[in-house]
Structure 1
Amino acid sequence: MAAKRLFDDSDNDHSDQSNPKRIKTTKPTFASVIKEVVTLNFLENFCSSLEPMLRRVVHEEVENGLRRNLRSLTKAPSLRIQAIDELPTLQLIFNKKLLLPIFTGSKITDTESNHLQVVLVDTRGDGKVPAFLPCSLKIEIVVLDGDFPAGDSENWTNEEFDKHIVKERTGKRPLLAGELNAIMRDGLCSFGDIEFTDNSSWIRSRRFRLGAKVVQGTSAAGQVARVRPAMSESFVVKDHRGELYKKHYPPSLDDDVWRLEKIGKDGAFHKKLSAEGVNTVQDFLKLNVIDPQKLKKILGLGMSEKMWEVTLKHAWTCNMGTKLYMSRGSNYIIILNPVCQVVKAVINGQHYVLRDLKMMNKGYVEKLAQDAYANWKSLEEIEGQVNETALLTMGEIGDQVPNHQQPKMGSSYQGGQALLLDGSTNQMASIANNEQVTYNDWGLNCSYLWTPAQNSGRYFPESSSEGDLH
């Protein structure tokens, strides 16, 4: 019995050692479960609230470190040059310069009176080559201070550009109105109507610039930093009331005479000219061609020689257009440009072009021009370019002058009284009405003879009146 009990006890001990968990495991209480859940929830909430704070702190520290490093880089001249060289190679530019002057409430256009266009270019190398991006960009037009950048330097950053953007004055409308945003595709974008709502007199420089920049967040990652903004030349924005009195460059023949330099609207010169029937730029130039001394007398002593020169040069920049005028007489037909300068003539059936008119009797041709001026309203209008007409061959005028023979230039006209000299002799010539003149009497530089302008499109007459200006 004792042996059996000993065996049973040892068997129980072995069973207890092989299953220790069953002996030590106790059922959790309700309080312990609640405590554990509360602890887990606290840790989870604490971590979720701590994460954004840690992210913000790390972000700020990284930015501060970058600023410190950039500041230390720019202190060294060699490193500053390296930083400049690393400026973006892609740049926005305005396709054409702005049309000046600019007034409030008036549409801003380029020099060809078209809407503004912005182009993307690559500035690497010697020139600016059109560039293209695989994605579209949203471009915005902004106003910049006219003093930026200092000395018109090209070494500025996008951040400096943004710092010099000008906003409207307190209590005023936005400085620019209209279609200020456009989508750039294939390296080009066009804007609609844009206008200033305020003048530039209230900022220190009294001048603005227009800028074009990529709008943040509208392009693929990294594209904004790679594209340099566009910047126009500096300019003054005037109040729209000044537009009513502005001069035209160039003036047109139909413009009021006060559109010319040195002649103010409703001023003394304007009133004097109007009293004599000189109301338009065309009237001004016609009288200057026929009788420049009379024109200067009308203006009076208040018009100095220097002012006269400025006014006259401005007037001669006008576009002559395509109209020509024909004056007919019993034995002649002359063709004149819109300011009463003789371009061609048919006298007694003989055809003369500009180079031949210069060798004719000065007084006779001048008399024809004066008669045409006196009867200007009765002249026949014909179409034709002034430049082309002056260079036509002799026979081409016959299309507008019927029933006349067209002999070759340089030969005498056997059926009439006109003899044409070739310029190589001093013989006499009988022009119209048997007037006898010598070669020395012929005027080679006459204001009533049209002279083609060279290159610039300006029309400066070869006249003795222009010599009076000096």
Structure 2
Amino acid sequence: MAAKRLFDESTNDQDRPEEKRMRTTPSISTVIREAVMVKSFQSLCANLEPLLRRVVQEEVERGVTRASCTARNTRTVLYRSPSMRIKAPEESSFQLMFSKKLSLPLFTGSKIEDEDNKPLQILLVDTSGRKNVPMMAHPLPIKVELVILDGDFPPEDRDDWTAEEFENNIVHERAGKRPLLAGDVMITMRDGVAPVGEIEITDNSSWIRSRNFRIGARVVGETSQGRRIKEAKTERFSVRDHRGELYKKHYPPALDDEVWRLVKIGKEGAFHKKLAAASITTVQDFLKLWVINPIELRRILGGGMSDKIWEGTIKHALTCMMGNKRYLHRGPHWTIVLNPICQVLGAEINGQKYSAHDLSGMPKAYLDQLVGDAYQKWATLEEVDVLHTEWALLQNDLTAAIESHHEIIQPSLQYTDLNVGFAEMGPPSTNNVHVEFNGWIPSPTCLPMAVGNHHVYNTSDLSSDDDSGSVAYFDRR
């Protein structure tokens, strides 16, 4: 018994230290096994995640489908029940519309106006008939938002589009840029009219695919009777950087515009420098020399100006407004009336009065000499405003016409025999007329009326606008 008890005690003594060691210090194998288990669990979670996502997505889609079917059935019941029917928004014949086209070209930061250089205006029109009828008696104010649209909207210039298509074609500013359309972009329409305040486009249009914008207008919020009012859009246009505005051409040009405002004549370019060297600085200077001697003008511009460029520049220059000013060039026995570009509108020689249509019967060489002298002495000519002299002209009193312009002039018109012809009268007196042409020969006549290599000289072809002050100075009856 003693031996057995001794064996048991020795056995117990051997087991206890091992148990104690296992509780205090885990073995390396245990640590590795636990780490492997943790990694396996994480891997398991990673593998289960896509599966769980797919299961959740399928369940959500199934629930949405069931909800849609329930809603559809509910709408069907409501539609079939007259007492519970809900009406969807209806299309209407109302549409927003810009009253006039834009003033082009447009530059970044410049004020946007219509073709009459007035603020834009948006109208509410009824398109149900053949013509767009303005709706001037809309009962409630309407909030209208102005946006920038892609220039290619709508495709193929369709006249119909949905509100969603309009929304999808709105162009927003580039990242880090200011809002693309700045200014009064939210306006209120009252009585069918919405005046637009000051707006401007802050970025050029070169960065979008179409390279063009449109300005659009849409109704914000609900409209009366829940009907949609179709959106408005302008014509497509490009927007250039504001630095290009300093060099833009004028349409039409003004007489006192610098000559580089004409097409094909660039600022500080070769043509501009050649004209400046010849003291041709304004559009008026350009046209006066073209009237007097187009060959000399062409020579100044040089061989770099082709026939096509020449015709385009002259055509653009001739669109300028001549205004109401007329210029009188006097001599002892003659007076001629010129418009601002040195075209003859009338003449009085030896007491005989000639309108623009009668000038073709006068000796061209003599008339050319008078006009050439007027061109050389342009700064000394008597200037008359047609509007201020209308009454005096109707009275056929040339002297009174000049005095009404606050210039008291005593014309020394000592008429000879009225029956004396031009051949007998001879050239004007050298005591009063000094003709210098700076080395160039006057053109066969002073009125070239066609653009091109060959000029057609026909004084009877003067327009009625240019004739407005011709006969009036001498014989308006």
Name the TM-score, length of structure 1 as normaliser: 0.69
Cα 1:405/1:241, change in 2 over 3 Å:
closer
Give the whole-Å Cα distance in 1 for the aligned partners of 2:198 and 2:234: 17
Q: Quick one: which of 282, 286, 290 aligns to 1:284? A: 286
2: CA distance, partners of 1:363 / 1:393: 31
Q: How far apart, CA to CA, are the structure 2 residues paired with 1:270 and 1:342?
A: 28
Amino acid at match of 1:102: L
Matched to 2:180, the amino acid is L
Match of 2:345 in 1: 343
1:163 has 2:168 as partner: yes
1:344 positional shift: 1.5
C-alpha contact (below 8 Å) 2:293/2:446 kept by paired residues: no
Match of 1:184 among 181, 185, 189: 189
Instruction: Pick one of 329, 332, 338 that aligns with 1:330.
Output: 332
Q: Which amino acid aligns with 1:271?
A: K
Q: Using a 3 Å threshold, how does the CA distance of structure 1 residues 308 and 332 change in structure 2: closer, same or farther?
A: same
Q: Which runs of structure 2 are paired with 1:47-446 in the superposition (5 Å)?
A: 61=68, 87-131=91-135, 132-217=137-222, 219-220=223-224, 222=226, 225-384=227-386, 395=396, 397=398, 399-400=400-401, 416-419=416-419, 429-430=421-422, 433-434=425-426
Post-superposition Cα deviations, 1:396-445, rounded to whole Å, max 9, x if no partner, equal: 64643788899xxxxxx9x625549xxxxxxxx4357346xxxxxx9796
Q: Indicate conservation of the 8 Å contact 2:359/2:460, yes or no.
A: no
Distance 2:376 2:103 in 1: 39
Q: CA deviation at 1:162?
A: 1.2
Give 1:226 shift: 2.3
Q: How far 1:88 moved relative to its partner?
A: 2.5
Q: Percent identity?
A: 50
Q: Is the 8 A contact 1:247 1:261 kept in 2?
A: yes
Q: Could you tell me how far apart the structure 1 residues matched to 2:165 and 2:312 are? A: 42
Q: Distance in 2 between matches of 1:111 and 1:381?
A: 32
**Cα contact 2:216–2:233 (8 A) shared by 1:** yes
- The 1-side partners of 2:419 and 2:446 are apart by 18
The answer to whether the Cα contact below 8 Å between 2:148 and 2:213 also exists between their aligned partners in 1 is: yes
User: Which deviates further from its counterpart, 392-401 or 234-243?
Assistant: 392-401
Q: What is the CA deviation profile of residues 92-143 of structure 1, one whole-angstrom value per residue up to 9, with x for unaligned ones?
A: 0000000111100100000000111000000002111111321110111110
- Gaps in structure 2 of 5+ consecutive residues: 1-62, 77-89, 403-408, 428-443, 450-456, 467-477
Question: Quick one: distance in 1 between partners of 2:71 and 2:399?
Answer: 86
Q: Provide the residue aligned with 1:30 in structure 2.
A: none
Q: Structure 1 residues 418, 342: closer, same or farther in 2, change over 3 A?
A: farther
Structure 2 CA distance for partners of 1:59 and 1:177, relative to 1, 3 Å? farther
Partners of 1:98 and 1:342 lie apart in 2 by: 37
SS in 1 for 2:361: coil
2:154 and 2:464 mapped to 1: Cα distance?
38
Contact 1:348 1:432 in 2 (8 A): no
Corresponding residue SS for 2:328: strand
Q: In structure 2, how many angstroms separate the alpha carbons of the residues matched to 1:63 and 1:150?
A: 38
SS of 2:140's partner is: coil
Q: From the superposition, tell whether residues 395 and 273 of structure 1 become closer, same or farther in structure 2 (CA, over 3 Å).
A: same
TM-superposed deviation, 1:358 = 1.9
Task: Report Cα offsets for 1:231-267 as digits up to 9, x if no partner.
Answer: 1111101110111111110000011101111111100
Mapped to 2, the partners of 1:108 and 1:381 lie a distance apart of: 37
Q: Deviations over 1:259-286 (max 9, x none)?
A: 1111111000000000000000000000
Please tell me the residue identity of whatever aligns with 1:430: F
Cα-Cα RMSD: 3.5
1:95, 1:119 within 8 Å by CA — same for their partners in 2?
yes
SS of residue paired to 1:357: helix
Structure 1 gap segments, 5+ residues each: 1-55, 70-85, 407-412, 421-428, 436-441, 458-470
Aligned residues of 2:371 and 2:446 also touching (Cα < 8 A) = no
Note closer, same or farther for the CA distance 1:274–1:239 as it changes in structure 2 (3 Å cut): same
Residues 15-50 of structure 1 deviation map (CA, whole Å, 9 limit, x = unaligned): xxxxxxxxxxxxxxxxxxxxxxxxxxxxxxxxxxxx
Tell me the distance in 2 between the aligned counterparts of 1:237 and 1:60: 49
Runs of 4+ in 1 over 2 A off after TM superposition: 56-66, 392-406, 415-420, 429-435, 442-455
Counterpart Cα distance in 2 of 1:233 and 1:399: 52
